[in-house]
Amino acid sequence: MTRPEDDADKARRLGQPIARFMARWRGWIRKYPWLDLIYRIIITVLGALISIVGLILVPLPGPGWLVVFIGLTVLGSEYHWARRILGWLRRTLARFWERWNAWRANRAAKKRAAAAGAEGTGPATSPSER
């Protein structure tokens, strides 16, 4: 089983060429103010639309939160506030899954203990019959 830190390092290494390409791309776009404005408008509208669709999908069956994360990632490519919200959501989701897995493990352990206790207290092994 791989550690989450290893996965994060691998993702960082895989994302480096993409990050370099995007930095060059944004540098070229920023040379032209009118193009920069159009680019930011497109990113804002696209990211907001994806996030809103994701929020609509949250109560429905399907990948609602995944779509919200994708929309915030698009917005985070241009806006610091979106990167901060995305980071907060990731941390909150990680804490939720840790608690959920601990709760499930605790519940399974209690069920195993109850099943083991029920097997040991059957009619043939009761203290009065010994």
Amino acid identity of 96? F
Asked whether the beta carbons of 72 and 47 are under 8 A apart, the reply is yes
Distance CA 68, CA 116 (A): 44
pLDDT at 42: 93
pTM of the model: 0.58
Task: Tell me how many helices (H) and strands (E) the chain has.
Answer: 4, 0
pLDDT at 127: 54
pLDDT at 61: 86
pLDDT in tens, 30-62: 888 898 899 999 999 999 999 999 999 988 888
- Cα-based angle 66, 11, 19 (whole degrees, multiple of 5): 90
Residue 50: CB partners within 8 Å, gap ≥ 6? 67, 70, 71, 74
Angle between helices 64-76 and 80-120 (to 10 degrees): 150
Q: Which residues of the chain have pLDDT under 70?
A: 1-8, 11-12, 15, 120-130
